[in-house]
Structure 1
Amino acid sequence: MAGIRSGLVLAIVLLSRVLSAQNAAPVTPPPSESKGSPILFGTNVDADEGTESRGASLGLGAYDSKKKDQKKKKHRGEFAIAPIPLVNPSIGNGGGLGVIYAVDLDGSAESPPSAFGAAGFITETGSWFAGVGGQIHLRNDKYRTLVALGGGKFNYNFFGIGADSGSKSIPLTQTSKAFLLEPKMRVYRDWYLGPRYHIISSTAGLNSPKLDPSKLPVPLPSTIDLRTAALGIRLQRDSSDSSFYPKKGSLFDVLADFYAPQLGGARTYQNLTLAYDKYLPLGPKNVLAIRASACMVTEGAPFYDVCLLGMSKDLRGYQVGEFRDDRMLVGQMEFRRELFWRLGATAFAGAGAVAHDWSGFGNSHAEPGGGFGLRFVLAKHNHINLRADYAWGDNSHAAYVSLGEAF
C-alpha cells in the first residue's frame, strides 16, 4: 500500500499485518517507564470442522504455491484472530486487533487461499484506525486482486523534511481515509503485472494551541485539507520459496503511481519505488537475507507523501518518517538462525539516506541502524514466526513486535 504515508502509514502497516503478516511498523519504547504489552498470538478456527489450533498463521501468503505436491485442505475456510500491541511515543500506547477469513475460491491446488480481513487500533493519545481489505486469488493463481479501505485519526511527531531533520519535532494531527484497488495478472512464469488505483483524503495541522508557529524549531507545514488520487502500475517477480520465511530465491518489486486532478485528487506528482530482496541459504538452519530499495517522489507531493526512512522492512532503529525527503536509498542485511525447538535468532544491520535530489546523496549523511532479535515459530508448516527485534540508530532506538519477518 505504498503511497499512504506518515500518520496513515502506521495504520496501513497494521492492516497489512492482517493481509500479509510480513511488514511491521516500529514501536519505540518511551524513555521513561515502559508498560507491559500483551503477547502477540494467532488462533485459527476451521469453519467446517469447528476445530481450533493455536499458533497458526495470519496472512494471505500462508499457502506456498510452489509446493504443488502438497495436498490442499478440504474445508470451506478458516478464521484467524490476533491482538497486536502498540507502544509508540509518537501516537501513544495502545492496542489493536486483526481478524482474517481465508477461503479457497477456485479449489485449485496451485492457488493460495483468498483472504478477507479487518484491523484496527486505538491509543491513549486519541489516535485510532479501522480498515477492511482482501486479496483474491483466481484461476490457478493467474489473477490476484488486492482491495483495501480504511481511515482514522493520527496524532504524531513531525520532524521536518530533509537530511538534517530528525533532531526536533512538532506535534501534528492528521485525519485520513483511503481506498486501494490493485488487480494483477501473471504474464510470464513468476512475473505479475497490473494497474492500481488509490485515493486518499487527509486533513493535517498543528496539534497544540499553545505553540507559536513562528518559534517552532522546524518549519511548520501549512494546515491542509487535501485529497490525492493516483493511477499506477505494479510489476513483481517472486521466485522465493516461501511467503513467510524464505530460504532461497528473490523478490523484485516495482511500483509507480501517477497523481493527477483528473483522477479525483488535487495535486499532480509521481512516486516510484523499487525494491529487491535476495535470500541465500547458508546450511540447513541459516539464511542471509539482503534488501535494497529506492524511492523517488517528484515536486508537488504533500509532506506526508514523500519518501519515509524508518519502515521496518527498509531500516530499523528509527521512528517512521523521522527522516523524509523526495529521494531515498536504503540497504539492509539480516542473518537468520534456527536454534532449537521453535526458537530462532537474528542479527541485522543497514544504512539509509534521504536527499532532495539524486545529486544530493553526495553530501547526505547515511543513517546507520542495526540490532538483534528473537523468533518463535507459531506455525510449523509455513514457518510463521512471532518476531521481536530491538534496534539502535543514530541517537535513536526502537522495538518491534509482529508476525512474520521484516522482509
Structure 2
Amino acid sequence: MKRLIFLPILSILFLSFTVSAQEELDKEEGTLKKFVEIFTIHPNKKAAAADSSLYPSKIILAPIINYSPETSWGFGVGAKYLFKMRGSGDETRTSNMPLSAMYTLENQFILFSGFEIFTNREEWMIYGNFIYQDFPRLYYGIGRNTPTENEEHFNFNQVLFEPLLLKRIFTKHLFIGGGIRYNRVYNVKPKENGILDEQIFPGSSGATNIGLELAAVYDSRDNILNATKGWFMELTHGIYGKSLGGEHRFNLTRLDLKHYIKPFKNDDVLAFQFKAHISHGDVPFNELALFGSQEIMRGYYEGRFIERHLLAAQVEYRKKLIGRLGGVVFIGFGDVANRFHDFSIKNLRFSAGLGLRFLLEKRERLNIRLDWGFGKKTNNYYLNIAEAF
C-alpha cells in the first residue's frame, strides 16, 4: 500500500519537475545542455574539430536511479558510448555501447552492456550483449495459471554473453550472420521447502547452456535509441548441445519485430512490437520464456508466468507535449504456453498504461521515461532511461 501511495506522488513530482524544467529551458535552453555536458566526455574532440569528416563521439556518464517491480529502487552508474568508425558519414548510423552497474534495494547487483556497432557504410554489424547479475527474484511456478499465493523468493547468479557478427546482404538494411550464446545460472538458492525447492526439472538448480546461433537483423530505424520511422527485426535460432560444454540439448528461436510510423504531420509516433520465444527439447529452467517486464507487458512482474513459449505484442502512441516534455499511452497483449498449439485468443492477457518522457539528449533523442502499467489485478511503475522499445 505504501508503494501505491508513494509512486503516484513520484509521478506528480516528476511532472512538476519536467514542467518547471521546461519553463526554465524556455528562458535559457542552454542550461540543460551545460548540465549534461558536465557528465560528457569527448574522446576525439580535438581531432573532430580539425577534421570535419570525423564524427564527434561522446561518452555520456550518469548516475543511475530507476525503479521497476523486479528491482525496487536501483542506484548505480552508467556510461553510454556513442560513436562512428573513422570514415563513416551520414549513411552510417551512430553505434551504441552502453555499460551500467547497479545495486538495488532488493540486494541485487546487475552489470550490463549491450552493443550495436556499425562499420563504415554499415557493411558489417557487431551486435549482442553481456549480463552479470546476482539477482533475487519472485517465483510463482511454471505454467500460465499459477496462483498469486504461490509467490516466493529465490536467489541466483547469472552470466550471459551473446556476441553476433552479421554481414549486410541482399538489401540495404538486412544483416545475416551468427555467433555464440553462453548462458550460465548458478548458486540457485530456492526457498526451503518451497515450490522451486520441491520441483525437479531441467536446470532448476542451475545450468550452463552454450549454443551456436544463426541470426538475421533487419534495421531501417532512423534512430537506435528512439526511432520515429522504420523497421527493426531480430530473428535468432540457437542450437544448444553438450559438444560445446553445455548441459542440455534444445533449440531456442526468438523473434523481436518493431515498426515505427508518424501517423500525422507532426512529431507524434506510433510504435508497434511483436515478440516470440519458442523452445523445444530438453529446455532448462533458465531458458524458459518470462511473461512481463519493463519492456513488454508492462504492469506484470517479469517472470509472473513462465513457460516454454511466449507470444506478445504491444502498441504505443508517443506525443510531444511541450518543449522537452512528452507523453505516451500503450496497450499490450500476450500469453505463454507449454505447447505452441495451446495458444488461444480467448486466453490472451492484456496490459495498458501511460507514461511521461523528458528529452535528456536532443541529438540522439535520449529520453528519461516514467511508465505506469496495468495488468489483471496488478499495476507497476517503471522509471528508466531510453524507450521501452
Structure 2 SS opposite 1:262:
coil
AA paired with 1:164?
A: N
Partner of 2:80: 100
**TM-superposed deviation, 1:371:** 0.6
**CA distance 1:384–1:225, change in 2 (3 Å):** closer
Partner SS, residue 281 of structure 2: coil
Greater helix proportion: 2
- 1:236-255 mapped onto 2 (5 Å cutoff): 236-255=217-236
Which residue does 2:154 correspond to in 1?
Answer: 172
Taking a change above 3 Å as real, the CA distance of residues 336 and 217 of structure 1, as seen in their structure-2 partners, is same
The corresponding residue for 2:329 is 347
Q: Which amino acid aligns with 2:75?
A: G
Q: CA deviation at 1:353?
A: 0.7
- What corresponds to 1:137 in structure 2? 118
Whether 1:44 and 2:24 are equivalent positions in the alignment is no
Which deviations, in whole Å up to 9, do the C-alpha atoms of 1:63-109 show, x marking residues without a partner?
Answer: xxxxxxxx75554x422112222435544533122123334333211
Letter in 1 for 2:332: G
Matched, 1:194 2:177: yes
Question: What percentage of residue pairs aligned between the two structures are identical?
Answer: 22
Inter-partner Cα distance in structure 1 for 2:198 and 2:376: 22
Shift in alpha-carbon separation, 1:278–1:363, aligned structure 2, 3 A: closer
Structure scoring higher RCO (CA < 8 A, sep ≥ 6) equals 1
The one-letter code matched in structure 1 to 2:179 is R
Write the letter of the residue equivalent to 1:405: E
Q: Paired residue for 1:12?
A: none
Q: 1: CA distance between counterparts of 2:160 and 2:276?
A: 24
Contact in 1 for aligned 2:258/2:271 (Cα 8 Å): yes
Q: Look up the SS of the partner of 2:79 in the other structure.
A: strand
Change (3 A) 1:393 1:131: closer
- Equivalent residue, structure 1, for 2:283: 301
Q: TM-score, normalised by structure 1?
A: 0.78
Residue 252 of structure 1, CA deviation: 2.2
**Alpha carbons 1:334, 1:348 under 8 Å: kept:** yes
Aligned amino acid, residue 262 of structure 1: S
> Is the partner of 1:319 in helix, strand or coil?
coil
Change (3 A) 1:245 1:92: closer
Residue equivalent to 1:9: none
Between the aligned partners of 2:140 and 2:67, the Cα distance in structure 1 is 19
Which piece of structure 1 moves more, 313-322 or 87-96?
Answer: 87-96
Amino acid at match of 1:197: I
Alpha-carbon offset, residue 332 of structure 1 = 0.9
Aligned to 2:188: 205
Conservation of the 8 A alpha-carbon contact between 1:178 and 1:198: yes
Does the 8 Å CA contact 1:155/1:207 hold for their aligned counterparts?
no
Change in CA separation of 1:155 and 1:258 when aligned onto 2, cut-off 3 Å: same
Normalised by the length of structure 2, the TM-score is 0.81
1:318/1:379 CA distance change after superposition, 3 Å? same
Return the alpha-carbon distance in structure 2 between the equivalents of residues 325 and 107 of structure 1: 47
Distance 2:346 2:337 in 1: 6
CA contact (8 A) 1:199 1:264 kept: no
* SS of residue paired to 1:304: helix
Supply the distance in 2 between the matched residues of 1:280 and 1:273 (Cα, whole angstroms).
24
- Amino acid corresponding to residue 224 of structure 1 in structure 2: S
Give the match for residue 205 of structure 2.
224
Moved more, 361-370 or 308-317: 361-370
Residue of structure 2 equivalent to 1:151 = 132
In the alignment, the residues of structure 1 paired with residue 374 and residue 333 of structure 2 have an alpha-carbon distance, to the nearest angstrom, of 11
Q: Whose Rg is larger?
A: 2
- Taking the TM superposition and a 5 Å limit, the aligned residue runs for 1:67-106 are 75=56, 77-106=57-86
State the partner residue of 1:325: 307
Query: Could you report, residue by residue, the CA deviation over 1:231-258 in whole angstroms, capped at 9, with x for unpaired residues?
Result: 1111121223222332222222212111
Offset of residue 273 of structure 1: 1.6
Distance 1:105 1:116 in 2: 13
1:197 CA drift (Å): 0.5
Q: Could you say if the C-alpha distance between residues 88 and 138 of structure 1 is closer, same or farther in structure 2, counting changes exceeding 3 Å?
A: closer
Query: Do the aligned partners of 1:177 and 1:201 also contact (CA within 8 Å) in 2?
Result: yes
| 1:250-273 CA-partner distances (Å, limit 9, x unpaired) | 222212111111122111111112
Secondary structure at the residue paired with 2:387?
Answer: coil
Measured in 1, the distance between the counterparts of 2:270 and 2:135 equals: 36
How far, CA to CA, are the matches of 1:234 and 1:30 in structure 2?
A: 41
Deviation, 1:355, is 0.7
Report the counterpart of residue 385 of structure 2 in structure 1.
403
Deviation at 1:29, TM superposition (A): 8.8
Query: Which amino acid counterpart does residue 320 of structure 2 have in structure 1?
Result: E
